């Protein structure tokens, strides 16, 4: 896939697997995830050494112009998973199950199967302990699961907006317990979104699986950002986002800078985190 900047080729020698990410946690080496939606960006991520690409249902807002992720359909997810899988053979490919497509065990199995057959290697679902049986069953069936805790955007209507979660002790304890329960049920990874840094650090110490933070401070095992935020395409960017294009000057450079900064522990900065 052609693109302009002469960035060095950091394509992983072997395809990244869940085991690679677990080893990174054990070795204390940070890894990178980017939420992206098409083949050229997926190819660029591979060349930049991005370990995991997520086809996030954020595509409802970043690509399709919806106000939230709630309207996103399975067909839209499959279309973008197939595109990303065509562009990237080395990063681990994670895909979101959209809103209400995993509310029953039967739906979760059916819809996760569709995403896996489109090219996903891990399925991400949003929510806490109520998903323990779903995680267990998907995992038993050979479908690795990434949990998503804290601000779970599919529940935006219940939260009354995109709000930081876990600032009060009860909710913080609930999120921490959810992380433990889902890890015990077999989740392989956990995204932690918009929670105080100290809570994310505590969860990262408590659970044996890698944590991937977005607005969750510097102490998670990995970071994830949406490609539109990395490239300054978001009109009102969230506090946790950084436009890497401003300094880098071109798109491959911006992606590479994000990767380098996460691995060096210099992103997120103090201005991107919640206390």
Tell me the closest approach of the beta carbon of residue 62 to ligand KIV, in angstroms.
Answer: 8
**Residue 180 burial by Cβ neighbours in a 10 Å radius (0-12, 13-18, 19+):** middle
Closest approach of Cβ 61 to ligand KIV, in Å? 9
Which residues, 6 or more positions from 24, have their beta carbon under 8 angstroms from its beta carbon?
30, 31, 51, 210, 221, 222
When asked if residue 226 is in the footprint of ligand KIV (CB under 6 A), the reply is yes
- 156 by Cβ neighbours in 10 Å (0-12 / 13-18 / 19+) ranks as middle
Which one among 48, 224, 254, 255 touches ligand KIV, defined by CB under 6 A?
224
The yes or no reply on residue 57 touching ligand KIV (CB under 6 A) is yes
56 belongs to the binding site for ligand KIV (CB under 6 A)? yes
Determine which residue in the list 115, 125, 175, 214 makes contact with ligand KIV, applying CB under 6 A.
214
Q: Which of 126, 193, 235, 271 is catalytic?
A: 193
* Residue 268 beta carbon to ligand KIV: minimum distance, rounded to whole angstroms: 14
Nearest approach in angstroms of CB 230 to ligand KIV is 12
User: Can residue 210 be called a binding residue for ligand KIV (CB under 6 A)?
Assistant: no
Decide the pairing of beta strands 31-35 and 189-193. unpaired
Distance in angstroms (rounded) separating the CA atoms of residues 222 and 209: 11
Q: Which is nearer to ligand KIV, 228 or 257 (by Cβ)?
A: 228
Site string for ligand KIV, 9-48 (x = CB under 6 A): --------------------------x-------------
State yes or no: residue 111 binds ligand KIV (CB under 6 A). no
Phi-psi region of 94 (alpha: psi -120 to 50; beta: other; left: phi over 0): beta
Least distance (Å) from ligand KIV to the CB of residue 69? 6
Instruction: State which residue, 172 or 191, has the beta carbon closest to ligand KIV.
Output: 191
The answer to whether 80 and 55 have CB atoms below 8 angstroms apart is: yes
Q: Is 96 in the site for ligand KIV (CB under 6 A)?
A: yes
| Positive or negative: CA dihedral 22, 23, 27, 33 | negative
Applying the rule CB under 6 A, the residues between 164 and 203 that interact with ligand KIV are 191
Shortest spacing between CB 32 and ligand KIV, in angstroms: 13
| Binding piece for ligand KIV, criterion CB under 6 A, among 52-60, 77-85, 87-95, 198-206 | 52-60
- Catalytic residue at 193? yes
Report CA-CA distances (Å) from 14 to 41, 46, 89, 189, 199.
Answer: 19, 11, 9, 20, 34
| Contact stretch for ligand KIV (CB under 6 A) within 7-15, 42-50, 55-63, 111-119 | 55-63
Residues marked as catalytic: 193
**Which residues make up the interface to ligand KIV (CB under 6 A)?**
35, 54, 56-58, 96, 191, 214, 224, 226
């Amino acid at each position: 896939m052609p693109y302009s900047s002469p960035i060095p080729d950091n394509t992983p020698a072997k395809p990244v697997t869940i085991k690679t990410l677990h080893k990174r946690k054990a070795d204390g080496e940070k890894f990178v995830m980017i939420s992206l939606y098409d083949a050229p960006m997926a190819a660029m991520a591979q060349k930049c050494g991005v370990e995991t690409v997520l086809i996030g249902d954020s595509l409802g807002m970043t690509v399709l112009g919806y106000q939230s992720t709630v309207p996103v359909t399975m067909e839209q997810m499959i279309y973008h998973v197939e595109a990303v899988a065509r562009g990237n053979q080395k990063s681990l490919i994670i895909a979101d199950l959209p809103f209400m497509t995993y509310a029953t065990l039967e739906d979760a199995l059916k819809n996760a199967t569709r995403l896996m057959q489109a090219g996903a290697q891990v399925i991400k679902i949003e929510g806490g302990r109520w998903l323990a049986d779903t995680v267990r069953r998907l995992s038993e069936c050979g479908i690795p699961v990434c949990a998503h805790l804290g601000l779970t955007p599919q529940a935006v209507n219940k939260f009354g907006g995109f709000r930081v979660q876990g600032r009060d002790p009860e909710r913080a304890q609930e999120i921490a317990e959810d992380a433990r329960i889902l890890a015990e049920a077999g989740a392989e990874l956990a995204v932690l979104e918009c929670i105080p840094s100290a809570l994310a650090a505590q969860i990262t110490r408590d659970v044996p699986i890698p944590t991937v933070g977005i607005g969750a401070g510097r102490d998670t095992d990995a970071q994830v950002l949406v490609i539109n935020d990395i490239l300054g395409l978001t009109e009102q960017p969230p506090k946790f986002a950084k436009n890497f294009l401003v300094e880098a000057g071109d798109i491959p450079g911006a992606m590479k800078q994000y990767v380098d900064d996460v691995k060096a522990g210099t992103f997120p900065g103090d201005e991107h985190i919640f206390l």
